[in-house]
Amino acid sequence: MGTRGSALALAQSSSFAAALSEVSGASVRTVGITTQGDTSNAAIATMGSTGVFVQAVRAALLAEEIDFAVHSYKDLPTAVPDGITIAAVPVREDPRDAVVAADGRTLAQLPPGARVGTGSPRRAGQLLSMHPQLDVVPLRGNVDSRIGRVRSGQLDAVVVAAAGLARLGRLAEASQILDPDAFVPAPAQGALAVECRSDDPGLLALLSALDDRDTRCAVEAERAVLARLEAGCSAPVGAHARIARSRARLELCAVITSPDGRHRTYRTMSASPTDATATGHTLADTLLADHNTSTGA
Ligand SMILES: NCc1[nH]cc(CCC(=O)O)c1CC(=O)O
């Protein structure tokens, strides 16, 4: 099993490995892979192509240095390369964003000018649109160092994925969990994608035992929004889907903001779960047309 070497990547891949061993009896050996995303100090949004965390892991997979890889799904580029298949999308962790703030404050309780760190244009745009009194400052690094900026007093708050906190056993440090219908998470946030080589049917079958149909469907709809907008992972687009009322309905919401938060376009759509991709595309078209109208583009 290939994985990045960060604490978060190791936590999520080792819990997947444990689940795989449990259902299949297979023993799993972990191979840590360093990626450009781990070694560069540049802001994620300036690193150009999407998938800075992913390319080295996929190269190792195609070179048969590893047999399968566990990725944070939201970090994957929307196109899956030839020769690689997503064999499993396990049950999703909490998809929501979370605030870690000094003195346990919520965003609404932060004073004007409070410094809130995030490196994500999606989070920055939504923060400013909802709370224009805040001073959003660029930030990157692992979850531990981002929370460290709050604990040291350099920042008043940071916004991170609840899933990241949960996987590190630190969800209790969140002072607010943001409603995903109001502050829309990144497409596929909280989900994992387990990839293997397409020509490895035995392993494909083994891994697919841990695939969760509802998670795959929700993520498919969210990622279809992103793919249709041809936006990379750093574009200010949020999308969140859930499967409601015992699989009868797919409910999808999506948001685009301008980077300064002055324009925010939010739309929802409900459809059959069998139409996940088409629903994502349709919602993206509506969203983009309405956003362009409101910004005068
Ligand atoms: N962009 C980095 C990243 N990629 C995956 C997660 C954890 C959440 C997840 O699994 O979706 C994080 C941290 C964060 O966004 O705070």
**Residue in 44, 75, 165, 192 to alter for ligand 1 test, most ligand atoms within 8 A of Cβ:** 75
Residues 65, 195, single domain; the answer is yes
- For residue 53, give Cα distances in angstroms to 152, 232, 233: 28, 13, 11
More confident residue, 46 or 156: 156
Return the pLDDT at 274: 95
**Residue in 3, 8, 127 to alter for ligand 1 test, most ligand atoms within 8 A of Cβ:** 8
Residues 105, 170, single domain; the answer is yes
CATH of the domain at 203: 3.40.190.10
Number of domains in the chain: 3
Quote the ligand 1 centre to 68 CA distance (angstroms).
Answer: 20
Residues 228, 271, single domain; the answer is yes
CA-nearest residue, atom 9 of ligand 1: 190
Return the pLDDT at 47: 46
User: Would residue 291 count as lying in a domain?
Assistant: yes
Closest to 68 (Cα-Cα) out of 130, 13, 135: 13
User: Would residue 244 count as lying in a domain?
Assistant: yes
Residues 162, 224, single domain; the answer is no
User: Would residue 184 count as lying in a domain?
Assistant: no
The rounded percent of the chain whose pLDDT value lies above 70 is 92
Q: Is residue 75 annotated as part of the catalytic site, yes or no?
A: yes
Return the pLDDT at 206: 97
Whether the predicted pLDDT of 231 surpasses 60: no
Q: Residue 291: pLDDT band by 50, 70, 90 thresholds?
A: confident
In contact, 114 and 238? CB cutoff 8 Å: no
Domain carrying residue 162: 97-177
Instruction: Report the distance separating Cα 219 and Cα 270, nearest Å.
Output: 15
User: Would residue 237 count as lying in a domain?
Assistant: yes
Whether the predicted pLDDT of 269 surpasses 90: yes
Around Cβ 276, how many Cβ atoms within 10 Å? 23
Q: Give the ligand 1 atom nearest the CA of 95.
A: 11
More confident residue, 232 or 220: 220
Return the pLDDT at 236: 84
Residues 33, 107, single domain; the answer is no
On average, the pLDDT of the chain sits at 92
Whether the predicted pLDDT of 187 surpasses 80: yes
What residues line ligand 1, using a CB cutoff of 6 Å? 8, 72, 74-75, 160-161, 163-164, 189-190
Quote the ligand 1 centre to 163 CA distance (angstroms).
Answer: 7
Q: Give the ligand 1 atom nearest the CA of 163.
A: 8
Query: ∠ CA(88), CA(90), CA(95), 5° rounding?
Result: 130
More confident residue, 78 or 223: 223
Residues 149, 128, single domain; the answer is yes
Helix (H) or strand (E) holding 208: helix 201-208
CA-nearest residue, atom 6 of ligand 1: 164
Residues 167, 195, single domain; the answer is no
Quote the ligand 1 centre to 269 CA distance (angstroms).
Answer: 25
* Digit-coded pLDDT (tens) for 247-261: 689 999 999 998 899
CATH of the domain at 282: 3.30.160.40
Quote the ligand 1 centre to 48 CA distance (angstroms).
Answer: 18
> Can you name the residues that pair with 283 across neighbouring β-strands?
none
Question: Residues 38, 67, 75, 200: which is the catalytic one?
Answer: 75
CA-nearest residue, atom 14 of ligand 1: 161
Q: Residue 210: pLDDT band by 50, 70, 90 thresholds?
A: very high
Q: Give the ligand 1 atom nearest the CA of 189.
A: 11
Whether the predicted pLDDT of 48 surpasses 50: no
Quote the ligand 1 centre to 296 CA distance (angstroms).
Answer: 33
The stretch 12-17 carries a mean pLDDT of 97
User: Would residue 146 count as lying in a domain?
Assistant: yes
More confident residue, 219 or 78: 219
Q: Give the ligand 1 atom nearest the CA of 233.
A: 1
User: Would residue 269 count as lying in a domain?
Assistant: yes
CA-nearest residue, atom 7 of ligand 1: 164
Residue 148, burial from CB neighbour count under 10 angstroms (0-12, 13-18, 19+): middle
Whether the predicted pLDDT of 51 surpasses 70: no
User: Would residue 170 count as lying in a domain?
Assistant: yes
Q: Residue 53: pLDDT band by 50, 70, 90 thresholds?
A: confident
Return the pLDDT at 118: 97
Residues 15, 76, single domain; the answer is yes
Residues 118, 71, single domain; the answer is no
Quote the ligand 1 centre to 21 CA distance (angstroms).
Answer: 25
pTM of the prediction? 0.93
